[in-house]
Amino acid sequence: MDQQEMVQEGLQHLLHVYNRFPIVLQQGTGTHVIDQNQVQYLDFLSGIAVNALGMAYPQIVQAIITEAQKISHVSNFFYTETNIRLAKRLCDISFAKKVFFCNSGAEAIESAMKISRKYFARQEKEQYEIISFHQSFHGRTLGALSVTGQTKYQKGFEPLLPGIRFAHLNDLNSVKAVLTPKTAAVLIEPIQGEGGVFPCEEKFLKELRKLTQENNILLILDEIQTGLGRTGKMWAYEHYKITPDILTSAKALGGGLPMGALLVTDQVAEAFHPGDHATTFGGNPIVSAASLAMLEIISAPQFLDNVTQQGDYLKEKLLHLRSKFPEKIVEIRGQGLMWGIEVTVSARDLVQGCLQKGLLISSAGDNVIRLLPPLIVTKSEIDLAIEKLMKVISE
């Protein structure tokens, strides 16, 4: 079956919820992936910030094989060694004291919302409201959708969860305006990803941390996209010199396999008792092994320095690109290896154009294209991507 026929089969049998490109990706190594017609693409998408180490990273592949030969799913009635080691590792490299594993970003958000409610319920306080932000993205399950600040995703799914209030990013007064005696938590992405790559200002996030502390409410950082080295630090919160009460992780966490996690302080951990929350697949040993292998690599001392260096290089190239096309490029936003380019033309057309030139990127909204290369990207690959991008923008 050729690629076109395969796409037809996909259209026929897969529920049509994605506007996919008519390409069947077949195989990848590092920053490159090939489709069924053996056309090669340079990957500046990383499966939406999932493949932090690119595709088929040897240590991850080996870890998956080794674990799969030993043990697979065991249920959460039992422990597995890789999962315990992973939980410890995540605590060692973060503010957190305890971890709950699940299978996706949205599920991590659900867990964060539930533990916030339980935290106050245990104190016999009626605090259940959550403050989120316009343009945010937290996932597609009903709870996560309710805290997502983009009505286009919510239309037709109402009624959504009550008690969700929205503030404006980088505007502390707008947070104060929706703070009530019933507020339990503020949920925020350090850099809004899907919403168009909008970073929190340092002053704002620091003041938000202070505000939540003064009011005894919880700060939930959604680091599903920004975490695990993407911004040049293990967690984006390190740039802001704050720590949250709760953090959600996913995307890159499973080393390419599906995994989400809820990371919490000791104090928040007390809220959940046996029976309060669960998920069948959470902490699967094979995914845990892949995750451990990934963390081993990215927590090596020079690894994140290199992400920062490549990120600075990419930023410089993007700023140069903007100066060349001031009428088409409005703004460059981001940090590390997470960049948004706001354009005056259709982002989807640019993504399509890049695809035809063998470069995988994505859009984040109608007017922003987003670059999320694997963290192992090299300068020459950045040069090549910029060259392709330049050609597409100039056309």
Ligand X SMILES: *Cc1c(COP(=O)(O)O)cnc(C)c1O
Where do contacts with ligand X occur on this chain (CB under 6 A)?
Answer: 104-106, 109, 137-139, 189, 193-194, 222, 224-225, 250-251
| Cα-trace Rg, the chain | 21
10 Å CB burial of residue 270 (0-12, 13-18, 19+) is middle
Closest C-alpha to 376, from 294, 287, 253: 294
* Min separation Cβ 236 and ligand X, Å: 10
Cβ distance to ligand X smaller for residue 151 or 323: 151
Cβ distance to ligand X smaller for residue 218 or 247: 247
Cβ distance to ligand X smaller for residue 193 or 232: 193
Closest C-alpha to 200, from 243, 170, 157, 236: 170
Q: For tokens 């595709």, what's the residue?
A: 55
Cβ distance to ligand X smaller for residue 52 or 224: 224
Report in angstroms the alpha-carbon separations of 139 from 109, 168, 180, 201, 248: 8, 19, 25, 23, 12
Sign of CA dihedral 194, 199, 205, 206: positive
* Min separation Cβ 90 and ligand X, Å: 17
Cβ distance to ligand X smaller for residue 127 or 249: 249
* Min separation Cβ 225 and ligand X, Å: 3
Cβ distance to ligand X smaller for residue 222 or 342: 222
Q: Which residues make beta-bridge pairs with 339?
A: 334, 371
Cβ pair 221, 167 in contact under 8 A: no
How far apart CA 288 and CA 87 sit, in angstroms, is 9
Cβ pair 31, 381 in contact under 8 A: yes
Cβ distance to ligand X smaller for residue 193 or 282: 193
Cβ distance to ligand X smaller for residue 80 or 148: 148
Can you count the helices (H) and strands (E) in the chain?
A: 15, 17
**Residue number of the CB atom closest to ligand X:** 105
10 Å CB burial of residue 129 (0-12, 13-18, 19+) is buried
* Min separation Cβ 50 and ligand X, Å: 9
* Min separation Cβ 258 and ligand X, Å: 8
* Min separation Cβ 109 and ligand X, Å: 6
* Min separation Cβ 222 and ligand X, Å: 5
* Min separation Cβ 271 and ligand X, Å: 21
How far apart CA 331 and CA 319 sit, in angstroms, is 9
